[in-house]
Amino acid sequence: DTAVSQTPKYLVTQMGNDKSIKCEQNLGHDTMYWYKQDSKKFLKIMFSYNNKELIINETVPNRFSPKSPDKAHLNLHINSLELGDSAVYFCASSGSGGAGETQYFGPGTRLLVL
Q: Nearest distance from residue 43's CB to another protein, in Å?
A: 4
HSE, CB side, 13 Å, CA atoms: give it for residue 79: 7
For 85, phi then psi, to 5°, come to -80, -10
DSSP 95: S
Please classify residue 57 by burial: count the beta carbons closer than 10 Å to its beta carbon, then call 0-12 exposed, 13-18 middle and 19+ buried.
middle
109 binds another protein, rule: CB under 8 A: no
Q: Among residues 55, 63, 112, 114, which is the contact residue for another protein, using CB under 8 A?
A: 55
69 binds another protein, rule: CB under 8 A: no
Q: Which region, judged by CB under 8 A, interacts with another protein, from 17-25, 48-56, 70-78, 79-87?
A: 48-56
DSSP 9: S
31 binds another protein, rule: CB under 8 A: yes
Residues that bind another protein (CB under 8 A): 31, 40-45, 48, 55-56, 90, 94, 97-108
